[in-house]
Structure 1
Amino acid sequence: MKSIDAIDRKILRTLQRDGRLTNIELADRVSLSPTATAERVKRLHRDGFIEGYQAVLSPEKLGRHLLVFVQVKLDRTTPETFDAFARAVQRSDDVMECHMVAGGFDYLVKARVSGMDAYRAFLSDVILPLPGVRETHTYAVMEEVKSSSYLPV
């Protein structure tokens, strides 16, 4: 892995807080010239430290009030079943994240839907028909205590 220095880390921390900064604003915040800052940001992109930029949207304003986590246990743990499950789950817009995990089940799915009726439809129309699904356990979020995509840099 390529190494980064303290200035690169400051750039990454600053961009995590506000990815809409202009290069001049970023340069001012990290105490570098705009040219040097632009070159560093370009290198951080090229080397894969920065994967992209996105707006953080309000689930509530967009009618996605219910956050659920679904544990999924498959009936077979073969490479073919894993691949088919992964391909199928990637097609659902309701699924925000899906992680293969070690432990008592195979996948942890994070989804946002409009409410309990939408969740029931999501479970019956999206999750249960996925390849190899044997069992699910759902946890509806009552309160989001912390939600962040920030990484310590």
Structure 2
Amino acid sequence: MPNEMRPAELDETDRGILRVLARDARTPNNAIAAAVGIAPSTCLGRIRALRERGIVHGHHTDIDLAALGLPLQAMIAVRLGAHTRGQVDSFLDHAAGLPGVISVFNLSGGNDFLLRVAASSADALRDFILDHITSHPGIQHTETSLIFTHRRGAAALSAL
């Protein structure tokens, strides 16, 4: 099995550190260390090792997009006309660099991509889709769903 497919070997201390970071990535190192029962210097080394092993990719800030003038969020399902590596990679690179795009998911199934986007209004969302999505060569179909509510799930925590 390739390395990226193998579950990471984590001891209970690593799992405890990850649980704390998943709840609040801003938790100070000394508080993480106290929560898992290790010295702060050991904790810092463990967190550094988790980053180096690719288990921790970064720390993210959940921003109130409405406060930035982007109160409307949507999921845009995109289907390509052809599924060559070139077309898939081209659209992925294109979509990830667009203004207002929060996340891009490459999928299996009926749709090839799912984009989470933020916009200032319904008109701005329509313009975004027409100017940046449906105008891209190779797009066969799009379907847009407005997001009413979003909450981050805790599924990853249950695996720890």
What residue in structure 2 maps to residue 27 of structure 1?
Answer: 33
Amino acid paired to 1:59? L
- TM alignment of 1:1-153, pairs within 5 A: 1=6, 2-141=8-147, 143-144=148-149, 146-148=151-153, 151-152=156-157, 153=160
Q: Using a 3 Å threshold, how does the CA distance of structure 1 residues 149 and 74 change in structure 2: closer, same or farther?
A: farther
RMSD over aligned CA atoms reads 1.7
Q: How many residue pairs align between the two structures?
A: 152
Amino acid paired to 1:131? P
The alpha carbon displacement at 1:65 in A equals 1.0
Amino acid paired to 2:11? D
The alpha carbon displacement at 1:93 in A equals 2.3
Distance 1:99 1:45 in 2: 23
The alpha carbon displacement at 1:149 in A equals 7.5
User: 5+ residue gaps in structure 1?
Assistant: none
Q: Structure 1, residues 50-95: CA drift from partner, whole Å, max 9, x if none?
A: 1111222111111111111111111222122112111211220211
Distance 2:85 2:153 in 1: 32
> Identity of counterpart residues, as a percentage?
28
Distance 2:84 2:43 in 1: 47
Q: Using a 3 Å threshold, how does the CA distance of structure 1 residues 114 and 149 change in structure 2: closer, same or farther?
A: farther
3-state SS of paired residue (1:69):
strand
TM-score when scaled to structure 1?
0.90
Q: Using a 3 Å threshold, how does the CA distance of structure 1 residues 54 and 46 change in structure 2: closer, same or farther?
A: same
3-state SS of paired residue (1:45):
helix
Higher relative contact order (CA 8 A, sep 6+): 1
